[in-house]
Structure 1
Amino acid sequence: MRSLSLFATLTLTLAAALSFGAAAETDTDANEQPDANVDVDERIEVLGYRWFPETLSLSGRYDLSREFLTFRNQGNGNITDMLTFLPGVQVSEEAYNIDLQQEIRSQLISISGAQPWQTGFYFDGLANNSRIDPAAASRSTASVNDVQGHPQNQFINQELVQQVTVFDSNIPASYGGFSGGVVDVQARQLSDFKEPSVSLRYRRSLSDWNEYRYYDLRGTLSDDQLQQQAEREDDIEIPDFAKQTLGLSVALPLNDEHALFASVNQTTSTIGEISLFEPVQTERRSLSSLLKYSYTPGAEALFDRISVSASYSPYQGDYVLTDVKDSRYTQDGGGHQLSISAEKQWQRWQGTARLGYSFSENSRQAPNYYRPWFRAAGKDWGTFVGDKALSIEGGYGDLDKTQQDLSARINLNRDAFDIGAASHELSLGASANLLTIERNRSSTAVIYNAPFRDANIDCNGQTLDCVEQQLAMPLEQLAAQLGGNIDLSNPEHLQAYQDNLLQRGQFFRYRRVYPIENIEVTMNEFSVYADDQIRWHDWDLRLGLRADYNDFLANIDVAPRLQLGYQPVAGTRLIAGANRYYSANLVTYKLREARRPYLTQFRPISQGQVGNWATSAQAERFRYQFEDVSTPYNDELSLALKQRLFGGVLSVKGVKRWQREQLARGSTQQQDGITYITATNAGSGEYQRLTLSYQYRWNEHEFWLHTSHSENLSSSSSYDRSVDSVPEDEIVAYLSATGNGRYQLISLDDLNRLNEDFSRPLVASLSVHSQWSDALRSSLTVSYQGDYTRAVDTGSWYFAERDQLCTQCEDVELAYPVYQDAERPARTMVSANVQYQLELMARPLTLSVEIDNVLNQRTYSVAEGQQGLESGRSFWLGAEYRW
């Protein structure tokens, strides 16, 4: 019923706007009317609305020109960070977390309710999607059996960009491998540079310039927590970071035929942290560079233009696990790409052929043993983790994952031709990709759990994961000093006993052993598409068809793309669309199939002597199996009205999507001692959004107001299933708002599905760009987000008995990270950007200041039941010199 209500509302809105728009159209300047002989997208150019990105094309398309990008807040400089104000685009829930303010990785974005990795990213004509494990982007940098990934191969600095095109609906058939939206980033066009030029840029942001506030919303604390809070009251760590970006760009139009462009942009963040009550320093480094060459030969040459483009954009982060001893580790990401393209106009056909190669990685170098001891004498460096005090040391081991993509693509566009009274523009294309992903663990990693304290244990020669009790002097000697016996009820005796205890005996009863791996998987994929744009009188019809095939699932996926436009009166356009989008290739699942399962081991204690490790016969060893599954896809219906109104453009758009054949955890099968987790297509979901927007230009000021209401719902047959057949490293503890304080063990898969159900239904944005003079420009953005609910990581641990993993063991308690439902109240954020240009040695010097959260509002990143800091007003200062 909700689906029908959205489209019923939209239909009534369209009818009302049509009648009103026809009357209002009489006030429109005749010089701004579109030329009926210009094609669909070119008609928008005639209107002159190029500052703001919305177009009147059939596609749900937003074009961000180079001029537009210069108005926006840059932040860390990543181009996708500058897209979060667009309709249908939402940032990750963690975007406002205090920890992310010091980071420089590109933000995660969702388009039309899809997961971030379901977005199709392109840079300079090549796919910029990481398929290693894109869903791992939301995981911690310290994931046990994985490395934090990202949906993008490379983080693209805005200085490399000529234009960004974002699609949220009615996406043309030339794009595939996504089920959300598309972000197509075009690199700098060398034809725009008429003479040699050099630009030098420097931008900086310091935590000392920013505002922070501390909130403790935990309610009543235990005595131990109060004591520890008192000890650390003066140690509440305000973020301590220094971020800076240094960039250099050189454009060399050598002559009419040859041109060269080079740009290098380095962003760093030096971070001071407190770990185990001591200051530590970590650092992040991101490089974004581009070298591009263009050759435009004479009329008799084989090709009209040849372009060679190379980009190199690595990322490296140095980290520590907070409050974990000897835990420093590094993470490498990003990569590089090379492309060669050739263009040729032959009779009535325009052809483009492109060859490309890209490499990216997600790798980690870390200590190989993770040991969570009880905090006790000899292991007394730790802090409270949930209700228990632990002294943790080590890390999760080295792990390298790489991706190589070799691609070839050809596109053919025919000049417009007539059949009867209809005009046709035909586009054809084909592509082939060879994708190779490798996963390498060069040494065994061991994750310990279930520590056990005993004063009289004998470690039996095992020293890595067992410590025996050590005393400064024998108890008999201590008793003699205290008068013959030790009375622990006597405070003096108790203190003397504790001072005499150098190390408390303890050992681990449980561990997971991750074996050495060296895995390589490859996948071939092929695609073809055809697209015909037909214009007949006041009607526009776009007929698109796309077919994709890969040799992993061996499915031929045929996706129709149909859009219809009608112009009943000048300046009014009605648009409808019916489309299918197939998800990205699933090579990451092929990699998951090949992963070696971890070993679950226990060891007993008998008469005080610790036994040897033994592999549990009850604990299952898991592998994944993807056979006879279909490619997940989305079906989309859309309706839109785009209306010239009072000199501006009004847009009303409704988008409805049905997520079909989604992958979900299926049944398990036992074979040769391995439990195979199968995948099914039992998952499904729905998404719908209604967007109202209006853009208007008055003199040198542009205004764009839009608001959206959306709903997102997903489900699968695995929901609320027992975790008995879930790998231990994929289990978390969940505390729901309606669970009466009871913890529930669920899989990470189900947790992610829960958070998909929690949508942010109401959002709005107002953007104002102003060119006050030739030297002064500014932008102002006001964004609103309605209240919603989400399960968040509390940073604490829940200890649960898991005796079924070892029937011969007693009282096995394992620790699981706790996620809790949190209400996020509505919030309104204001950001601003002011740029002033002056002359220095007869050359332009531009000074800029960016302010986020101008009004110092709460971000509500600290939820009820938690404590921590929230960020307030923050600044970036910059300067750019051109000559």
Structure 2
Amino acid sequence: MRFAYSPLSFAILSVLAVQTYANESTDQVIQSAPVSMTPIEVEIKAKQEVGKTIYSKEDLEKTPNSSKNITDFLKVNPNVQFSQNQNASGSQAELKPAEISINGAQTFQNNFIVNGVSNNLLINPTDSDSNTMHSFGTGSQAMAVNTDLICSLEVLDSNVSAAYGQFTGGVINAQTCAPQTEIGKIHGSITYDYTESDWARYNIISQKEQDLFEEPSDTNQKEYTKQGLSTNVYGKLSEQWGFNSYVSKRNSVIPVLSGFESPKKINQERNNINLGTTLFYSPSETIKSKFGFDYGLLDSLHYAESRRDSESTLDTETVTLFSELEHRFGPATITHKLNFQNSDSSRESDKDYGLIWHFAEGSKDWTDSKTVSEGTMLGQLEQNQTALSYDVQAEFDLFKIGQTQHSVLGGLGYSHAEVDWKRAYDVLITNSNSTNLKNLGNYTCQADDYLCDANTTVQGWTGQYFASASIYKAGEFSAQQDRFNAFIEDNIQWSDQFSTRLGIRADYDSLSSNFNIAPRSSLSYKPFNDDRLQVLAGWNRYYGQQTLGTELNDAIGQLMYKSTRPNPETDWVESFSSSSTSTRRSELKTPFSDETVFGVNTQIKNWDLGLKWVNRKFQDEISRNRTDIPQDGFNFSYEYANDGHGEADIYSLTLRNREAINFAGTQHLFALGFDYSEIFRSYTDYTSAYQDADQDRLISYDGKIIQWADIPAPNFNQPWTARINWDIAFDATPLKVSNFFSYKDSYDDMISNGKIEHNGSKIDSYIASEIKPKFTWDMRTTYDLDLGKDLKAIFGLTINNITNRVNTYVTGAASTSSTPRVMTELGRQFIADVTFKF
């Protein structure tokens, strides 16, 4: 690893300089009591509950997290699964959060909440990497929140309260920090982190992969620098007022080949910006309020190799306004939440056309090849989402009925969401095939005709002109959705041993006119009348979200036209271009999952042990069905339906010690998580073609005859995983070491293997190709250094994959006829950071 001159180098030198000054000035300072840094928030250890995990700011800071986002941190949770290519070597400079599945659910069916506001995108959340003429994947989260700005992260993976809706997976609830400091003093922190490609190892295992990484590219990021700067400033201005302000920026620069002689390389960029302020106001002991804003910008700059004027920018800009008022009203505490969010996603391109010409000296000659390209790849698009919501909840004081004690929580909510899709101008796309590009011959190019060129081409044409092109028309479409919800639940303590939670949630959706009832119930038994042993069983239903993009796609599909002309001296003639890929809207039900959960929590001396089984049955999932209904000249067509289904069984074990174990002057904390998953799904997601006839057809899989509907889920389906956190603190030195070990057992990927004979007919055959186990050991170490009064520096170093183990993954979709390619994950990687606290 070579030493890289970076802003981090200067930050470290500055710290050392300040330390030197502090040492030299010691004799001039009157001695006083040692200064202890004021925490931003007092940590209260949460009671262990089945299906609920709360991570503190300390957990977020000490866990190795190279991307500084919420989903990357959740690798520590045994109920969370990631995509097979999460740690791919070729994408380490990306800043967009990884997609996750909780208990087998679709990645876009989690409810992300930031400061009480839903952070979910509703237009096209299924694939954060998709990019087509009509849409682009934004991912499931509007803002990529930097974990440096978060003080509490709550994960509800099962047995979820009726207070939460709009998910079939889980709820991730993030809160920025609330100041608990002395009045009149301002505290804060500044953190800077840095890494680059030269600080990482690439473990190439095949010639094909070596060829892909021979030169840096957008999809195989051989070269990059990634760095981030974040700050929190907080304080109590008076007994009534407090504030917290925060800002961060993360940036990646990715040099890639331009395809031109000059410049040889060109820089692509990724940026993620978060900023916001929260004000806290407590005029009395019975009234508390907070209000503020969050802002997020996630953008990426791209170029297409060897294509002139191909610059495009994808960005998502989100503004959230939130407010919360809590007050006493009679026997209840009432909480009001009023929130507004606007998320604007766009794809900006240099040109409104994309062309491929034959090489022509003197005009179409910017690359030395038979064809040359220019202009956009996909064109400009805008996607906007606006949401306004109001919720009120009442938590009643404990009361008794007979021998039972009751804790009742109830609430009402309303939200209005609008989504818009817009293409501001027509986009023309054409290429050099024989139908589109013609010999100019004896014709003449007209003035200002950018689709005609009079220079002699490489194959001897007197010139060239485009006679045919695809036109993607400008257009604007919108959809809106009103949602109403009401819930009530009663936590009943029958005795010291028995308690139940009886809840019910009702949701109404104006888009589909669905009125959905979701019961939530659980039974808890403590045989020893205390927390030493708890057995819990729960039965719950969760209704998810409809993806509003399905309401737009039918109309968007009508914007495809064909434009032709017999020669360059005549006018273009436009005609509607039929497409078999457009999808009709239909009356859709709301997807839901039924859950059965059984859990055991026990305390054995200093250890908390948890065992849990979660069964999820997913129904009415939105599918894209191929039908026999003719449309626009095709003898088939597509429509959205509710034919998707699946099932998941998740078995997990967790073990952690409550108090640190003292050994030879060191303090040790352990957290272990093991899980086993069995997941199948009848389809991929609502963007993939689904044929009802396919579901019952027989296939051969790994020597067994099964129905197509029973094939293994193609992703987010690692059967066995183990995760271990081991934190070490030293009594004699301010050094801390946090280790994270992850093991993912081997699994079978599904690959086509021709056909076999079965009962007198040929059926498709698939084999199970074993993917080897994965093991990673990530470590983060920090060293605290006092610099003087109210000033501390913390030096940090994260090392991912310490052992430089060669881990592999499979590219491409499973369950297809194409042979997947085995690629490698990133090897050993170093990330350095420094934090100043004041």
Q: What does 1:552-571 correspond to in 2, within 5 Å? A: 552-569=511-528, 570=530, 571=532
Q: Does 1:334 align with 2:281?
A: no
Contact 2:383 2:419 in 1 (8 A): yes
Cα 1:282–1:595 change in 2 (3 A) is same
Deviation at 1:414, TM superposition (A): 0.8
Q: Distance in 2 between matches of 1:657 and 1:376?
A: 61
Partner amino acid, structure 1, of 2:477: I
Cα 1:718–1:829 change in 2 (3 A) is closer
Partner amino acid, structure 2, of 1:762: W
Partner amino acid, structure 1, of 2:108: W
Q: Distance in 1 between matches of 2:328 and 2:276?
A: 27
Deviation at 1:368, TM superposition (A): 2.5
Query: How many equivalent pairs are there?
Result: 738
Contact 2:499 2:524 in 1 (8 A): yes
Contact 1:358 1:404 in 2 (8 A): yes
Secondary structure of 2:142 counterpart: coil
* Structure 2 counterpart of 1:782, from 717, 725, 741: 741
Contact 2:444 2:568 in 1 (8 A): no
> Aligned residue for 1:362?
345
> Aligned residue for 2:423?
441
Q: Deviations over 1:616-641 (max 9, x none)?
A: 78834765433332111111111111
Deviation at 1:521, TM superposition (A): 2.0
Contact 1:111 1:180 in 2 (8 A): yes
> Aligned residue for 1:827?
774
Contact 1:375 1:391 in 2 (8 A): no
Q: Distance in 1 between matches of 2:189 and 2:426?
A: 49
Deviation at 1:866, TM superposition (A): 4.8
Contact 2:473 2:561 in 1 (8 A): no
Stretch deviating more after TM superposition (656-665 or 589-598): 589-598
Partner amino acid, structure 1, of 2:179: L
Q: Distance in 1 between matches of 2:786 and 2:292?
A: 33
Deviation at 1:846, TM superposition (A): 0.8
Deviation at 1:771, TM superposition (A): 2.1
Q: Distance in 1 between matches of 2:768 and 2:344?
A: 34
Deviation at 1:600, TM superposition (A): 5.1
Partner amino acid, structure 1, of 2:661: W
Partner amino acid, structure 2, of 1:781: F
In the superposition, the TM-score normalised over structure 2's length comes to 0.80
> Aligned residue for 1:416?
398
Contact 1:383 1:391 in 2 (8 A): no
> Aligned residue for 2:118?
127
> Aligned residue for 1:547?
506
Deviation at 1:314, TM superposition (A): 1.4
Contact 1:858 1:872 in 2 (8 A): yes
> Aligned residue for 1:70?
61
Partner amino acid, structure 2, of 1:704: A
Deviation at 1:185, TM superposition (A): 0.7
Cα 1:507–1:870 change in 2 (3 A) is farther
> Aligned residue for 2:705?
none
Secondary structure of 2:85 counterpart: helix
Unaligned runs of 5+ in 1: 1-47, 220-225, 472-497, 726-735, 740-749, 793-819
Q: Distance in 2 between matches of 1:651 and 1:329?
A: 49
Partner amino acid, structure 1, of 2:834: A
Partner amino acid, structure 1, of 2:330: Q
Q: What does 1:681-720 correspond to in 2, within 5 Å? A: 681-696=642-657, 697-699=660-662, 700-715=667-682
Contact 1:630 1:661 in 2 (8 A): yes
Contact 1:692 1:708 in 2 (8 A): yes
Q: Does 1:572 align with 2:533?
A: yes
> Aligned residue for 1:196?
186
Secondary structure of 1:361 counterpart: strand
Q: Distance in 2 between matches of 1:459 and 1:426?
A: 86
> Aligned residue for 2:48?
56
Cα 1:455–1:446 change in 2 (3 A) is closer
> Aligned residue for 1:591?
552
Cα 1:238–1:362 change in 2 (3 A) is closer
> Aligned residue for 1:4?
none
Cα 1:852–1:757 change in 2 (3 A) is closer
> Aligned residue for 1:163?
152
Contact 1:450 1:510 in 2 (8 A): no
> Aligned residue for 1:487?
none
Partner amino acid, structure 2, of 1:243: K
Stretch deviating more after TM superposition (547-556 or 270-279): 270-279
Q: Distance in 2 between matches of 1:338 and 1:233?
A: 47
User: How well do the aligned residues superpose, as a CA RMSD in angstroms?
Assistant: 3.9
Q: Distance in 1 between matches of 2:614 and 2:442?
A: 64
In the superposition, the TM-score normalised over structure 1's length comes to 0.76
Cα 1:754–1:627 change in 2 (3 A) is same
Contact 1:599 1:621 in 2 (8 A): no
Cα 1:602–1:214 change in 2 (3 A) is farther
Partner amino acid, structure 1, of 2:642: N
* Structure 1 counterpart of 2:266, from 269, 273, 280: 280
Cα 1:327–1:581 change in 2 (3 A) is same
Q: Deviations over 1:163-190 (max 9, x none)?
A: 1110111111111001111101122123
Deviation at 1:822, TM superposition (A): 8.0
Contact 2:291 2:324 in 1 (8 A): yes
Secondary structure of 2:98 counterpart: coil
Deviation at 1:133, TM superposition (A): 1.6
Q: What does 1:597-636 correspond to in 2, within 5 Å? A: 597-599=558-560, 601=562, 619-620=578-579, 623-636=582-595
Contact 1:276 1:381 in 2 (8 A): no
> Aligned residue for 1:146?
135
> Aligned residue for 2:762?
none
Secondary structure of 2:717 counterpart: coil
Q: Distance in 2 between matches of 1:241 and 1:247?
A: 20
Partner amino acid, structure 2, of 1:75: S
Stretch deviating more after TM superposition (108-117 or 844-853): 108-117
Q: Distance in 2 between matches of 1:191 and 1:173?
A: 31
Partner amino acid, structure 1, of 2:517: V
Q: What does 1:110-509 correspond to in 2, within 5 Å? A: 110-139=101-130, 142-191=131-180, 195-218=185-208, 239-276=222-259, 278-299=264-285, 304-366=287-349, 367-372=351-356, 394-448=376-430, 451-452=433-434, 458=441, 464=450, 470=456
Q: Deviations over 1:246-265 (max 9, x none)?
A: 12221120111111111111
Contact 1:467 1:504 in 2 (8 A): no
Deviation at 1:147, TM superposition (A): 2.2
> Aligned residue for 2:18?
none
Q: What does 1:94-113 correspond to in 2, within 5 Å? A: 94-113=85-104
Q: Does 1:663 align with 2:622?
A: yes
Q: Which has the higher helix share?
A: 1
Q: Deviations over 1:196-227 (max 9, x none)?
A: 213222111122222223343549xxxxxx9x
Deviation at 1:824, TM superposition (A): 3.8
Unaligned runs of 5+ in 2: 1-41, 693-698, 703-707, 752-766, 812-818
Q: Deviations over 1:389-440 (max 9, x none)?
A: 9857532111011111111110110111111221111000111111111111
Contact 2:455 2:463 in 1 (8 A): yes
Partner amino acid, structure 2, of 1:701: H
